[in-house]
A and B are shown apart, each in its own frame.
Chain A
Amino acid sequence: MRPMIKLIGYIGIVAAILPSILFLAGRMELGTAKIIMLLATIVWFAAATIVEWNLDKKYFCKTDK
């Protein structure tokens, strides 16, 4: 479970900066870039919060058993 959440978090943090690079390269509109950056922000904070507070172990591991 945890490696998956970490992977999602890392994707989120890459997605926070990637739209700006694509906008610089002229491959993305600024409006689209802003929306992706917001979604990436939500993904990063959700994943990092779960890992930081061990929420996956507290809630999900019990049901896994």
Chain B
Amino acid sequence: METNQEQVVESQPGTEYEREPVPQKAWLGFKSFLGMYAGEHCAGTELMIGPLFVAAGVSAFNLIIGLLLGNALAVISWMLMSAPIATRARLTLYYQLEKICGRWLVILYNLVNGVMFCFLAGAMVTVSATALGVWFKFQMPALNDMYPNSVGWVIAVLFCGSMIAVVAAYGYNTVARIGSIAAPWMVLIFIAFGIVGLRQFIDVTGKEIQSIGDLWNMANDSIWKGGAPQEGQVKFTFWHVMFFSWFCNMAMHIGMSDLSVLRYAKKSWYAVAAGAGMYLGHFLAWIAASILYAYQLHLDPKDTSVLPGPLAYRAAGLAGLICVIVAGWTTANPTIYRAGLAFQAIIPKVSRFKVTIITGLVATIAGMFPAIAMKLLDFVSFYGMVLMPMGAVIFVDFWLIKKFGLQSYYAEASGKRFNLAAGLAWFITFITCVCLVKFAGVQIYFVSLPGWFVAAILYIVISKYYQQKVRPNA
């Protein structure tokens, strides 16, 4: 029951060892990372993502095998991409970026990161607000709704979001500790959702389950049937599931955000702890939530709305509703806090309290628009795509750039505040990815993989010209 939340809080950017490598005395053991990753990836948004897979017409094989492989690739990405750099440099993402890119580019990165965090927190507020709808019976958004569709919904989101913002501003540590004690309970309630949903399917279909084979048949015939997606949704194949589960945390592993966390790890292989989060949150929780939604569709195929509150209430009653609220609240809290830190880095003279309140209000307004939560698969992929190029820049700068006869940590060495090579690699990669999605018909789930190579090559090529033209002062 003891938690390691203090250690996790220490690892938030902006708290300790901001501008120096983490000293050996502050390194943490494997258990710290196991608890942190398991808690962090069992979020309120898992209750949206699982149902959205079903709405995308995924089949049982594609879902199970796609998730198994995609999550394994995500863990490997943490172990091979971010952890080796984190445990060698032991610097925060922000300080490492500043050394490479210069102060101004880091400010821009912070701004983009902060805005993304706001939208993500908004989706979490949306999830919490759906629980209030069960009690107060107001009209809630449908699967394809873009805008708030009732006064009750707006008030519910405003209430949830304001509470989360005020609490994040006043007592981040308290909520973080509540989050840490809620984490094991939440994981079990998520699993309970799936178990209850399975029994409900057995009852409603009248099937006899005597073996794993029977269960697999029911999964194929009644739960994840494949076929056409719901109206307005993209059809999900094995590749969609695999790439989505690999890249949904792309900003953290390939994008290198978790440098700030893993710099505390004694050993690089501790990043394998991310597997706890992946296989509890991004495997079991997604599967459980998808069963609940499939059951709802089985009862009434016209009821396509993805609303975690009613889904959880049907499966687990009040405990389920509490789980939805707590899951949304405890995960929105650090997200708003992190967004606040990102913004505060841009305007350091404004107090953290004010920044967090304003950030929370922006997230609340974002949460009123159900489009973000209902299109969460697209948003999460976009989030990874936006920040991924800077991960490629860090990777190349750390491992490869000297082999091309170029200067690593170029901004620090030259005293530049904006490393044009890194900036152009980021912007051109982003524009290339957007063009591929908009005009070449490449779906957003797949564009980040080629995008990483584009960013890496661009950074080397542009640096070759840029560093020759502008001689370092140092």
Q: Which of B128-136, B177-185, B372-380 lies on the face that meets chain A?
A: B177-185
Q: How far is the CB of A41 from chain B (nearest CB, A)?
A: 5
Nearest to B177 among chain A residues (CB) is A52
Q: How far is the CB of A19 from chain B (nearest CB, A)?
A: 8
| Interface flags, B300-329, vs A, CB<8A=1, else 0 | 000000000000000011111010000000
Q: Which of B193-201, B336-344, B440-448 lies on the face that meets chain A?
A: B193-201
Task: Assess whether B181 is in contact with A45, with CB atoms less than 8 Å apart.
Answer: yes
B421 located at the interface, meaning its Cβ lies under 8 Å from any Cβ of chain A in the complex: no
Q: How far is the CB of A62 from chain B (nearest CB, A)?
A: 22
Q: A16-B185, A41-B185, A44-B185 are in contact. Are A9 and B1 (CB under 8 A)?
A: yes
User: Given the complex, which residues of B lie within 8 Å of A53, measured CB to CB?
Assistant: 177
* Bound Cα distance from A20 to B182, whole angstroms: 19
| Interface flags, A1-38, vs B, CB<8A=1, else 0 | 00000100110010011011101101000100111011
User: Given the complex, which residues of B lie within 8 Å of A17, measured CB to CB?
Assistant: 188-189, 191-192, 195
Nearest to A2 among chain B residues (CB) is B1
User: Given the complex, which residues of B lie within 8 Å of A38, measured CB to CB?
Assistant: 317-319, 322
Q: How far is the CB of A17 from chain B (nearest CB, A)?
A: 4
Task: Assess whether B192 is in contact with A48, with CB atoms less than 8 Å apart.
Answer: no
User: Given the complex, which residues of A lie within 8 Å of B185, measured CB to CB?
Assistant: 13, 16, 41, 44-45, 48
Q: Give the number of residue pairs across the A-B interface with Cβ within 8 Å.
A: 75
* Bound Cα distance from A17 to B319, whole angstroms: 11
Of B188, B191, B196, B318, which contacts A33 at CB under 8 A? B196
State how many residues of chain A have any CB contact under 8 Å with chain B: 28
User: Given the complex, which residues of B lie within 8 Å of A52, measured CB to CB?
Assistant: 1, 3, 177, 180-181
Q: A24-B198, A48-B1 are in contact. Are A13 and B184 (CB under 8 A)?
A: yes
Q: A34-B316, A38-B318 are in contact. Are A16 and B188 (CB under 8 A)?
A: yes
Interface bin, chain B: 20 to 34
Task: Assess whether A34 is in contact with B319, with CB atoms less than 8 Å apart.
Answer: yes
Task: Assess whether A41 is in contact with B177, with CB atoms less than 8 Å apart.
Answer: no
* Bound Cα distance from A52 to B181, whole angstroms: 8
Interface majority SS (helix, strand, loop, mixed), chain B:
helix
* Bound Cα distance from A11 to B463, whole angstroms: 60
| Interface flags, A34-57, vs B, CB<8A=1, else 0 | 110110110011011101110000
User: Given the complex, which residues of A lie within 8 Å of B317, measured CB to CB?
Assistant: 34-35, 37-38
* Bound Cα distance from A4 to B101, whole angstroms: 54
Kindly identify, within residues 194 to 227 of chain B, every residue whose CB is under 8 Å from any CB belonging to chain A.
195-196, 198-200
Interface centre among A17, A19, A51, by most chain B C-beta atoms within 10 angstroms, is A17
Task: Assess whether A51 is in contact with B318, with CB atoms less than 8 Å apart.
Answer: no
Q: How far is the CB of B197 from chain A (nearest CB, A)?
A: 9
Nearest to B316 among chain A residues (CB) is A37
User: Given the complex, which residues of A lie within 8 Å of B177, measured CB to CB?
Assistant: 52-53
User: Given the complex, which residues of A lie within 8 Å of B3, measured CB to CB?
Assistant: 52
Q: How far is the CB of A32 from chain B (nearest CB, A)?
A: 10
Task: Assess whether B2 is in contact with A37, with CB atoms less than 8 Å apart.
Answer: no
Q: A45-B185, A48-B1, A48-B181 are in contact. Are A23 and B319 (CB under 8 A)?
A: no
Q: How far is the CB of A40 from chain B (nearest CB, A)?
A: 7
Nearest to B174 among chain A residues (CB) is A53
User: Given the complex, which residues of A lie within 8 Å of B320, measured CB to CB?
Assistant: 34, 37
User: Given the complex, which residues of B lie within 8 Å of A21, measured CB to CB?
Assistant: 195
Interface centre among B177, B180, B317, by most chain A C-beta atoms within 10 angstroms, is B317
* Bound Cα distance from A10 to B181, whole angstroms: 12
Nearest to A19 among chain B residues (CB) is B192
Interface residues of A (CB under 8 A from B): 6, 9-10, 13, 16-17, 19-21, 23-24, 26, 30, 33-35, 37-38, 40-41, 44-45, 47-49, 51-53
List 15 A-B residue pairs with CB atoms under 8 Å apart, sorted by A's residue number. Answer: A13-B184, A16-B188, A16-B189, A20-B191, A24-B198, A24-B199, A30-B199, A34-B319, A38-B319, A40-B319, A41-B189, A41-B319, A44-B185, A45-B181, A48-B1
- Report the 5 A-B pairs with minimum CB-CB distance, sorted nearest first: A34-B317, A20-B192, A48-B181, A37-B319, A20-B195
19 additional contacts (CB under 8 A) given A17-B188, A47-B1, A49-B181: A9-B1, A10-B1, A13-B184, A17-B189, A19-B192, A20-B196, A23-B199, A24-B195, A30-B199, A34-B317, A35-B317, A38-B319, A44-B181, A48-B1, A48-B185, A52-B1, A52-B177, A52-B180, A53-B177
